[in-house]
Structure 1
Amino acid sequence: MLDLTIIKAVSIDLDDTLWPVWPAIERAEVALNAWLGRHAPMTAALFANPSARHDIREQILRTRPELKHNLSAIRREAIRLALYRSKENPLLAEQAFEVFFEVRNQVTLYDDALQALEFLSTRYPVVALSNGNADIARIGLSPYFRASISAQAFGVGKPDPRIFHAAAGAVDVAPENVLHVGDDATLDVLGGLNAGMQTAWVNRADHLWTHEVLPHETVASLAELCDLFRTAETRS
Structure 2
Amino acid sequence: MDIAGLRALTLDLDDTLWPMRPTIERAEAALQAWLEAHAPATAARLRDRVWARAVRAGVQRDHPDRHHDLTFLRREAIRVALRESGDDPALAEPAFEVFYAERQRVELFADARPALERLAARWPLVAVSNGNADVRRVGLGDYFVAHVGAREAGVAKPHPGIYQAALAAAGAAPQAALHVGDDPLLDVVGARRAGLAAVWVNRHGHDWDATVQPKDCGCGGGDMARALHAGSVQPQPHERPNAQVAHLLELCERLGLV
Q: Establish whether TM, by shorter chain, passes 0.5.
A: yes
Amino acid at match of 2:24: I
Is the counterpart of residue 215 in structure 1 residue 241 in structure 2?
A: yes
Q: Quote how far apart the aligned CAs of 1:141 are.
A: 0.7
Distance (whole Å) between structure 1 residues aligned to residue 164 and residue 175 of structure 2: 10
Distance (whole Å) between structure 2 residues aligned to residue 49 and residue 116 of structure 1: 41
SS in 2 for 1:129: strand
Q: Quote how far apart the aligned CAs of 1:125 are.
A: 0.6
TM-score w.r.t. length of structure 1: 0.95
Amino acid at match of 1:13: D
Q: Quote how far apart the aligned CAs of 1:98 are.
A: 0.6
Summarize the alignment of residues 87-98 of structure 1 with structure 2, pairs less than 5 Å apart.
Answer: 87-98=86-97
Structure 1 partner of 2:255:
229
Q: Quote how far apart the aligned CAs of 1:230 are.
A: 2.2
**What are the superposed Cα offsets for residues 139-174 of structure 1, whole Å, 9 maximum, x if unpaired?**
011111001111111111111112111111112110
Structure 1 partner of 2:46:
47
Is the counterpart of residue 179 in structure 1 residue 205 in structure 2?
A: no
Unpaired stretches in structure 2, ≥5 consecutive residues: 213-236
Deviates most, 155-164 or 181-190: 155-164
Structure 2 partner of 1:129:
128
Q: Quote how far apart the aligned CAs of 1:8 are.
A: 0.4
Distance (whole Å) between structure 1 residues aligned to residue 29 and residue 53 of structure 2: 17
Between Structure 1 and Structure 2, how many residues are aligned?
A: 231
Amino acid at match of 1:110: F
Is the counterpart of residue 204 in structure 1 residue 203 in structure 2?
A: yes
Q: Quote how far apart the aligned CAs of 1:20 are.
A: 0.2
Distance (whole Å) between structure 1 residues aligned to residue 120 and residue 111 of structure 2: 14
RMSD: 1.2
4+ long deviations beyond 6 Å: none
Distance (whole Å) between structure 1 residues aligned to residue 65 and residue 18 of structure 2: 28
Distance (whole Å) between structure 1 residues aligned to residue 190 and residue 43 of structure 2: 38
Distance (whole Å) between structure 2 residues aligned to residue 75 and residue 161 of structure 1: 24
Q: Quote how far apart the aligned CAs of 1:66 are.
A: 2.3
Amino acid at match of 2:94: Q
**What are the superposed Cα offsets for residues 89-147 of structure 1, whole Å, 9 maximum, x if unpaired?**
11111111011111111000000100111111111110000011111111011111001
Q: Quote how far apart the aligned CAs of 1:181 are.
A: 0.2
SS in 1 for 2:4: helix
Preserved CA contact (<8 Å) 2:153 2:161: no
> Sequence identity, in percent?
48
